[in-house]
Amino acid sequence: MPVGVRQNEDQCEVQGVHPEAIQTARSSLMPDSTLTTLSETFSALGDSNRMKILFALAATELCVCDLATVVGISESAVSQHLRLLRTLRWVTGKRRGKMVYYTLNDQHVHDLLSLELEHVIGA
C-alpha cells in the first residue's frame, strides 16, 4: 500500500475525541421513539411499488383499480401498500359513493418526493 493511504478511509488515523462536537451532535438527536418512527417511515418507502403508487398519486387522485393498472400489480397488493402508506400518513382516501379515491396526504409528502427525486437524479 502506498505511503499515506489508509486501508480503511472510514476510520480515523489518530484515535481521539472532540468533546464539543460530540455534545453538539448528541444535543441534536431526537428521542429514540421519534427516530424509530422516522426509520420505519423511510424503510417503508424502500419498495418500488410503493414509490410508484406515491408518484402516481402525486400526479392525480386514483382509486385502487386505477392504481393496480398503473403500477402493474393486483388490487389486493395495492390495498396492502395503501394500508401501510395510510398508517404512515403518506396517503389519504376519500369515499365517493362506492369508490375510494386516494391522494397524497399533504404538501409535505409532495415536497419530500420532489426533494428526493431531485437528489437522486441530480446526483
pLDDT tens string 74-119: 999 999 999 999 999 999 999 999 999 999 999 999 999 999 889 8
How do residues 35-80 score in pLDDT, each as one tens digit?
Answer: 998 898 888 889 999 999 999 999 999 999 999 999 999 999 999 9
Q: E-assigned strands of 19-111?
A: 91-96, 99-104
* Residue 9 within any structural domain of the chain: no
Quote the pLDDT of residue 123. 60
CA nearest 68: which of 59, 78, 83? 78
Rounded Cα gap, residues 26 and 30, in angstroms: 9
Quote the pLDDT of residue 85. 96
Quote the pLDDT of residue 54. 96
Q: What pTM was computed for the model?
A: 0.78
* Residue 35 within any structural domain of the chain: no
C-alpha cell of 6?
Answer: 489508509
* Residue 34 within any structural domain of the chain: no
Mean pLDDT, the chain, integer: 90
CA nearest 53: which of 70, 76, 74? 70
C-alpha cell of 16?
Answer: 481521539
* Residue 78 within any structural domain of the chain: yes
Rounded Cα gap, residues 123 and 113, in angstroms: 15
Q: How confident is the model at residue 7 (pLDDT cuts 50, 70, 90)?
A: low
Rounded Cα gap, residues 119 and 96, in angstroms: 36
Rounded Cα gap, residues 76 and 62, in angstroms: 15
Rounded Cα gap, residues 110 and 89, in angstroms: 12
Mean pLDDT across 18-32: 93
* Residue 93 within any structural domain of the chain: yes
* Residue 81 within any structural domain of the chain: yes
Host domain of residue 94:
49-122
What CATH number corresponds to the domain at position 83? Answer: 1.10.10.10
